[in-house]
Amino acid sequence: MCGIIGYIGSKKASPILISGLLRLEYRGYDSAGIATVEKNGLSVMKDKGRVKNLYNLEGIDDLEGTIGIAHTRWATHGKPSKENSHPHLDNSKNFAVVHNGIIENYSDLKGFLEKNGYTFYSQTDTEVIPNLIHYYYTKDKNNDKDRILRAVQHTCKDLKGSYAIQVISKYMPDNMIVVRKDSPLVIGKGDGECYISSDIPAILSFTRDFYLLNDNEFAVLSRDKVEFYDIDLNKINKNVKNIEWSASSADKNGFEDYMLKEIHEQPTAIRETIGSRLPENEPCNFDDLNFTKEFLTSINKIYIVACGTAMHAGLSGKIAIEKLCKIPVTVDIASEFRYRDPIIDKNTLCIFISQSGETADTIAALKLSKSKGATTLAVSNVIGSSITREADYSIYTHAGPEIAVASTKAYTSQIVLLSLLAIYFAEILETTSVFELKDLKKELLELPNKIENALKSSKRIQEFAKNIYQEKDVFFLGRGVDYNTALEASLKLKEISYIHSEAYAAGELKHGPIALIENGITVISIITDPKLVEKTISNIQEVITRGAKTLVITNQELPANNFDTIITVPDVNVLLSPVLSIIPLQLLSYYISKEKGLDVDKPRNLAKSVTVE
């Protein structure tokens, strides 16, 4: 969580920093601040609240510095307040730091520094960092050009936890130092200037050339060059990576909100994700994997591990892989998986799904699986993200930058990529007939057009949203793949509409939750599996009898007059139906949130990538 931005070049840093922060605000938005190197030392301006408040700070327009660091915060230690906002200064006010992550041993370090005469002005874990840098700087009697770098290195050796840190100093008017461990940070290289950011989209309008920093690597930035060091300060070489995303893909492009734009981008996202993986009359193509029949036959168990929406995509992946490849698949929540000693050996394949590729629990689960000998495969939307650098293999959704906190196009792209993966495995293993796979491939290629059709339900959904936006509780029901859609729809509704909702496997209702159904309550059901139509209808009948209002999302012929509202989505192979049935439900959450006047893209208490445990 939290977003960090940095600039070093010949232009005024402050407007660049603030515009970068505005783009990063989805990572956290309870306070913001910038620090620049001015002629007479460091200047720090910060406050509680949204980034745009920075424009009102007295003196912000007078900043002339061409080197600066900036931060938008998602509070962990200490409530949102001016004191707790970043950047933080050391006691001498000569070192300014912004930090994303959590310093787990900060209270020990704080105690140590207090004993050495340092005073603390915030409740944050971060404030120990500039003070430790100052401590090591003053202890070092060798006044050469690397003195500050050594102080930062010693500081990092003391820190336990996760961090992406930017440091500027009055003593270093032409440089900036950055370092990361388990928290994202990228360096954009321009002409005579460099940009730092927590993620690529925030600085795409400035450059497409990026350096990706690994854990425990330091970069010393000057205007025209970047030098890299390992933890022992040995110099290392890095190549620039050119990123293909266009700057406009990170803009709203005429839509009112990023979420609405991203919902409408799903046909393109799916087309791009399929890309060249389905060549005509040839096997599914994953040259980034090149798995052999021998290897896949040796795999006797697959774990799919992820968080939130990515985990819901994993549930659809499980159904596809089990059906087409006959390998048992367990889907796990990363924060549970990593603490329960899962049974893993060299015959286990662990698949980790993360849109951002930076989710702390998913990365930790990956590291655990690797240490137990599993083969690890990352599914991410961000090339070069942490998870893809840790995994043995990586495959990508090509959904383009997803800015809204609520995941939409990444989710459907993940389902599509997992379906392609299941086909790829099944073709190698020969576990499903070629005719069946051929049909499925054809259906995959037709998906983008069918999504366009599903989006046409928008007006009706908007009307429905007007009827239910004041509800306190909503229930979602489904069976099989439709249960997975119910889980995802319920998460979307909670996340951006702040309506309490529950998703149940429809057959499970009478084992307890039906006690909650009372007159007037809204129950939303999904029916796309032809085998389960009658069973689900019976369950819906049970809630109608108890007074529920019903909305059904379906691609099946249903008996007329049974339900209050029916929204039809295009018919498709059941393995792919979650991609279509979620579309009206994404729109529903969106329009309810709008109806309630909420900030759709930046829901309360949430941040886009959860880089803390």
CB within 8 Å of 56: residues ≥ 6 apart:
none
Among 308, 314, 317, 584, binds ligand M6R (CB under 6 A): 308
Cα-flanking dihedrals φ and ψ of residue 44, to 5°? Answer: -120, 130
Helix, strand counts (H, E) of the chain: 17, 25
Indicate whether 394 belongs to the interface with ligand M6R (CB under 6 A).
no
Q: How far apart are CA 280 and CA 286, in angstroms?
A: 14
The residue number whose beta carbon is nearest to ligand M6R equals 308
Q: Of 110, 181, 318, 608, which is the active-site residue?
A: 608
Assess 310 for contact with ligand M6R (CB under 6 A). yes
- Selected binder of ligand M6R within 84, 94, 198, 362 (CB under 6 A): 362
- Helix (H, G, I), strand (E, B), or coil: what is residue 156? helix
What character string, x for contact with ligand M6R (CB under 6 A) and - otherwise, covers 231-260?
A: ------------------------------
Q: Residue 375, interface with ligand M6R (CB under 6 A)?
A: no
Residue 572's closest CA among 476, 481, 478?
Answer: 481
Residue with tokens 């992406």: 164
| Exposed/middle/buried for residue 20 (C-beta within 10 Å: 0-12, 13-18, 19+) | buried
Phi/psi of residue 352, each to 5°?
-115, 125
Closest CA to 316 of 263, 347, 353, 368: 353
- Identified binder of ligand M6R from the candidate list 354, 369, 457, 501, rule CB under 6 A: 354
285, exposed or middle or buried, with CB in 10 Å at 0-12, 13-18, 19+? middle
Which of the stretches 206-214, 235-243, 303-311, 464-472 binds ligand M6R when contact is defined by CB under 6 A?
A: 303-311
397 lines the binding site for ligand M6R (CB under 6 A): no
- Burial of 139 by CB count in 10 Å (0-12 exposed, 13-18 middle, 19+ buried)? exposed
CB of 17 to ligand M6R, least distance (A): 25
Q: How far is the CB of 363 from ligand M6R (least distance, A)?
A: 9
Kindly indicate which of the ranges 216-224, 241-249, 286-294, 306-314 contains the residues binding ligand M6R, using the contact rule CB under 6 A: 306-314
Q: CB neighbours (10 Å) of residue 335?
A: 17
Q: Provide the token pair at 218.
A: 């330091």
Q: Which residues pair with 553 in a beta bridge?
A: 526, 567
**Amino acid type, 359:** T
Nearest Cα neighbor of 83 from 130, 148, 157, 33 is 33
DSSP state of 9: S
Buried b / exposed e over 222-243, threshold 16 CB at 10 Å, is ebeebebbeeeeeeeeeeeeeb
Q: How far is the CB of 603 from ligand M6R (least distance, A)?
A: 8
**141 catalytically annotated:** no
**Taking CB under 6 A as the rule, does residue 309 contact ligand M6R?**
yes
Q: Which stretch binds ligand M6R (CB under 6 A): 29-37, 295-303, 305-313, 509-517?
A: 305-313
CB of 170 to ligand M6R, least distance (A): 37
Among 2, 24, 69, 307, binds ligand M6R (CB under 6 A): 307
Nearer to ligand M6R, 94 or 198 (CB): 198
The nearest distance, CB 359 to ligand M6R, in angstroms, is 3
Structure tokens at 414: 């993940």
Binding mask 481-510 for ligand M6R (x = CB under 6 A): ----------x---x---------------
Give the nearer residue to ligand M6R in terms of CB position, either 16 or 263: 263
Q: Min. distance of Cβ 453 from ligand M6R in angstroms?
A: 24
Instruction: Provide the mask over 399-418, with x wherever binding to ligand M6R is found by CB under 6 A and - wherever it is not.
Output: ------xxx-----------
Catalytic residue, candidates 2, 156, 284, 307:
2
- Lookup: tokens for 475: 């229930």
d(CA 378, CA 351): 6
Active site residue 350: no
Catalytically active residues are 2, 608
Contact positions toward ligand M6R, by CB under 6 A? 307-310, 354-356, 359, 362, 405-407, 491, 495, 609-610
